Structure 1
Amino acid sequence: MAERISGGGAPAAAAAVAVTCWTLVVLSLVTFLVADPTIDSNQLFFLVDVVGAAVYGTVAGVVLARRVHPVPIILGAAAIGIGLAALGYGYAQWAAVRPGLPWVDVLSPLQNTAWIPGTLALFLVIPWLVRDHRLDIAARIGLVAGTLVTAWFFWARTFTDVAQVPLLAPVVGVGLVAAADAARRWRRGPVDERVGLGWLALGTALMALSFVPLMLPSTWPGLWMFTPAVHLVVQPFFLGAIFVSILRQRMWGLDLVVSRAVLAGSLTALLIGLYVVVATALAGLLPAGDSTGAQFVAAAAVAVAVQPARMWLQRRVQRLVYGSGTDPGHAVRELGRHFGSAESPAALLEGLAAGVGSGLRLESVVVHRADGAEVANWGRATGSAEFVDLMHRGTRVGMLAVTAPPGETLGIRSRKSLSELASVVSAGLVVVQSAEDLAGARRRLATVRAEERRVIRRELHDGLGPSLAGIRLGLQGVRNLLATDPPAASALLESLQEQLDHQVDGVRSLSRNLFPPVLDELGLTAALEELATGYARSGFDLDVVADVPADIGGQTGAAAYGIAIEAVTNARRHSGAPGCRVEASCGTDGAGLPVLTLVVRDVGRGYDPSGPAGVGTRSMRERADELGGSVVIESGCPTGTVVTARLPLVAS
């Protein structure tokens, strides 16, 4: 990677440059106003010089205070030179109405010479230097060419009578070459240097072309006003292009932030100034009549003619600063397009982040879940982020982190548009989370089904299978004993009969545990009582207290029965207690929705929350999660374990 240019700031020099420029501006305006000259093209060029000295001097001071670099030094020198030219003109005008002023011979010539080096260096030299790496061979050649042309123009304009076309043609030509190089770097240069170079290329080209009217015959109508008006508009634009390139790239380590509102206001003020200049010029070209009404109609016609252009430019300025945030409908349509074209939930959020970022002209957009996990991002953040909560039905579902482009801050309008678009991103995040929850439920359902299959396989393989094999061997023994020892054969048959009856009971018990018929026929209460009867035969007492309607949903009843079986099984295996209590009741939750509450409690050893969760515990929770319910396992008071399941009677 190329070596980056570095260096410290010079606050004292920066202050000196700014103070000098503004002092020259004030002195120029005072001498000009005291002289009170008539309006002509020279006054308009004087206005160009005053504006240039104030603006260039301020920007040069701001940048030079943070970084010593040829660009702010040239800007400062240009501002001082332009300020001296303005002072020279103002002082000359004052001397014309008040003869005998001192230093006229020194200050008056400055109006024709002092502006040349700095003004030409703006677009012949500076564009080659606006970069954050060492100059390549092309930049060095361009820098030398720009310097030579600047020196040539100063010498020829000051000491010779060269015609305007050969005098200005090299200036325009080298300026356009500098613009072309900036455009080339914008398209194909280092990625970290491209931001803002498009504006620099455009500004450089406009600065070069603004000297073309000076090559035209002065007799052309309106040229006396058109030429300075073009310079008055183009020079601040060019300076803004330089500033944008520097700030957007945080060039030379600058981290200066400019509010979008300030940027929008500056551009709008520039448009207003352009509007006033054009309207005044057109009004001046209209013939003056004797009637005040005729003059009013003429002024109205000028306003009507220029107003559409001003509105068109105003919309472009707003779009430039705020993006589609000025048109929420457009931004929402753009986000809606991502909703319809997304191929996956992840692509949906990525598209929404890109839509918000491009629509509001942001540097980066990151979508976070409520837990802080990042789920989508667009762009690359280089500055501090601003956060917007993503809300859905009054609940915070996530957060949007955005950064403005380097050198900018989000304005009130951008924040308002961002809060409006956040609702669309919230809906997208909810869709993605719902899709992930559905996928998770499917995985859990597959896990439960696989576990149930393993239980059935284990019961068949370890219980029923070996038992049937033993009965088969016993029958073979009966066959062998029938002829030789009938009493023994009869006794063996009775033993095999008992084993067969036991296996039949085991198959029925397995069937009932999976989904007992009584649950469908008589409801959950009857199924729990039947379960208690079965456990009583094995010596484990099950106290059932249930008050549940028989017509509750099949899914809810099946889930409650499965949770009861797992909880009772765990109590029998691990609690050491002689029995447990099962309670089932219907009620409502905090939101007033109907729920089924199942409580299984014992007075055994108690529950160790630090221990690993077994298959039965996971199965209980998965059954509850499938319906949107919950299972809580905690220690009893004073001893034992309490399992509490709350299941919605309408599956969520």
Structure 2
Amino acid sequence: MGCSSGLQSGNIYISLFATAFITVLFVPLRDRLKRIINRFTYGDREDPYRVIDQLGKLFVIPTPHDEILSEAAHTIKQTLRLPYVAIELKKGGLPYIEAIAGASGNAKEVIPLIHGGQEVGCLMIARRSHDEPFTSAELQLLEGLARQVGALAQSVRMTDDLQRLAEELKESRERIVLAREEERRRIRRNLHDDLAPTLAALALKASTAEDLLISDTSGAKLLVKEIRTSIRDKVKDIRKIAYDLRPPAIDELGLVGAIRERALQVNNFILGFGVQRDYALKVEVIVPSALPPLPAAVEVATFWIVQEALLNVVRHSQAEYCTVSLRVEETNVASTLQLHVKDNGIGILQQKQNPKSSGIGLKVMKERVEELGGEFSITANEISVQM
């Protein structure tokens, strides 16, 4: 009896030892196997730091900026074993898909991409199956990933904007160079093809008149008269060339005085270049008491823009009242000239319906502003310029 009781007690200890031994071996193996299966099925969702670290490497590893968001979408898809990841951004207020990884099919979660307090797009992620929604931990992880993707998206957008500005600056410089060379060519042509031959002919006539002073006084007087007329005509041409380069009124009256003179000519029916009108047009110039000194190029561009704008008002607007306002905003960095020409006429849209109206004047004004790196905008009854 005592021996049987001792044997049973020994069997219990052996069973307990065997159970404990099996537990010690099996539980870690089971947990390890479970982690392997979960990682194969759900990726690294149990290790959020690993997922964030994988995405954070895109900030460090040199990657072409147009491939960064695509790499981000593939990273999220692979690390979380998701069937579909897409990154949608906004351009001009309209959404567009910037990057896609996988094929869309199941229901999608849409997580806003916020950067600097602004929504720059959204992260769209498909569920692994229709009946398997994301857990709260997964949604929290995805929101953390969306913050990183938002920073990447903002970086890509800023890079695109900088590249676009660089291209626009390059194009603007090219236009300036082309315009300058074209102006030089025009002046050279005027001097070489017109003024130079005329002066040579005048010199020849003067020599002939000198020879006729004794033998043919009347003929000499006639030649001198022709020379005088030709000189007057050429002086006008030279003045026109100089006027096109920089209107003398700016030097004589200053920019504001030159613009006021143009406004007075409109009010007195002088400025019109042959345009007939049978209604009164009042132009008012609104400027501060004094403008600070402006670059010469800005002064010339402003004068020509005002003149072209007033000519458009006279020709097409049917307005009775027009204002030309000028002011300069000064900062620690630079000074910006603000110009506004506004009328109470029929508006630009109705002007365009008139086949006699021409848009070349607006194009020239816009080009003058852009050559100086400024901004040109136009509404129905107002032209606005910043430069």
TM-score by length of 2: 0.67
The SS at the match of 1:449 is: helix
The one-letter amino acid paired with 1:504 is: A
Equivalent residue for 1:505, pick from 225, 232, 243: 243
| DSSP 3-state at the match of 1:576 | helix
AA aligned opposite 1:286: F
Residue 533 to residue 454, structure 1, CA distance change in 2 (3 Å): farther
- Residue 390 of structure 1 is matched in structure 2 by 113
Query: Helix, strand or coil for the counterpart of 2:114?
Result: strand
Residue 47 (structure 2) aligns with: 327
Provide the rounded CA distance (Å) in 2 between the counterparts of 1:559 and 1:390: 44
Change beyond 3 A, Cα 1:456–1:533: farther
Paired residue for 1:606? 347
Structure 1 or 2: larger helix share?
Answer: 1
Q: What are the residue-to-residue correspondences of 1:25-36 with 2, within 5 Å?
A: none
Measure, in 1, the Cα distance between the counterparts of 2:240 and 2:186. 14
Corresponding position: 1:404 with 2:127 = yes
Match of 1:365 among 64, 85, 89: 85
**Aligned residues of 1:548 and 1:586 also touching (Cα < 8 A):** no
Q: Does 1:441 align with 2:165?
A: yes
Contact 1:354 1:378 in 2 (8 A): yes
Larger radius of gyration: 1
> Any idea what the Cα deviations from partners look like across 1:508-565, whole Å, max 9, x if unmatched?
349x9xxx99xxxxxxxx97437637857986578251478849xx9xx899869845
Does residue 571 (structure 1) correspond to residue 309 (structure 2)? The answer is yes
Aligned to 2:327: 584
**Residue 339 (structure 1) aligned with residue 59 (structure 2):** yes
State the percentage of identical aligned residues.
19
Query: CA offset at residue 320 of structure 1?
Result: 3.7
1:415 aligns with 2:139: yes
Q: Which gives a bigger RCO, structure 1 or 2 (Cα 8 Å, sep 6+)?
A: 2
Letter in 2 for 1:489: I
Q: Residue 643 of structure 1 is aligned with which of 380, 383, 386?
A: 383
* Equivalent-residue separation in structure 1 for 2:234 and 2:121 (angstroms): 66
AA aligned to 2:383 is: V
* TM-aligned CA distance change 1:559 to 1:331, over 3 Å: farther
Q: In structure 2, list runs of 5 or more residues that go unmatched.
A: 1-10, 210-219, 272-282, 316-320, 353-358
Q: 1:618–1:428: structure 2 CA closer, same or farther, 3 Å change rule?
A: farther
> In structure 2, do the counterparts of structure 1 residues 433 and 331 end up closer, same or farther at CA, with 3 Å as the change threshold?
same
Deviations 1:313-353 (A, max 9, x none): 45435434432232222112211223333532221111011
> Does the 8 Å contact 1:388/1:422 carry over to 2?
yes
Q: Is the 8 A contact 1:575 1:603 kept in 2?
A: no
**DSSP-derived class of the 1:376 partner:** strand
Given residue 398 of structure 1, which amino acid in structure 2 is its aligned partner?
G
Say if 2:363 is the partner of 1:615: yes
**CA RMSD of superposed structures (Å):** 4.5
1:354 CA drift (Å):
0.6
Within the candidate set 543, 548, 551, 2:285 is matched to: 543
- TM-fit CA distance, 1:420: 0.6
> How do 1:281-296 and structure 2 match up within 5 A?
284-286=15-17
Q: Residue in 2 aligned with 1:86?
A: none
Structure with higher strand content: 2
**Contiguous gaps of at least 5 residues in structure 1:** 1-221, 223-280, 288-297, 518-525, 589-593, 636-640, 648-652
1:532 aligned to which of 259, 263, 274: 259
Is the CA contact 1:389–1:398 (under 8 Å) kept in the aligned structure 2? yes
* Alpha-carbon distance in 2 for matches of 1:477, 1:383: 88
Q: Per-residue CA shift, 1:574-595, capped at 9, x if unaligned?
A: 221797512325499xxxxx98
* TM-score normalised by structure 1 residue count: 0.42
Relative to structure 1, the CA distance from residue 597 to residue 477 in structure 2 (aligned partners, 3 Å threshold; closer, same or farther) is closer
Q: Partner residue of 1:193?
A: none
* Other-structure match for 2:231: 493
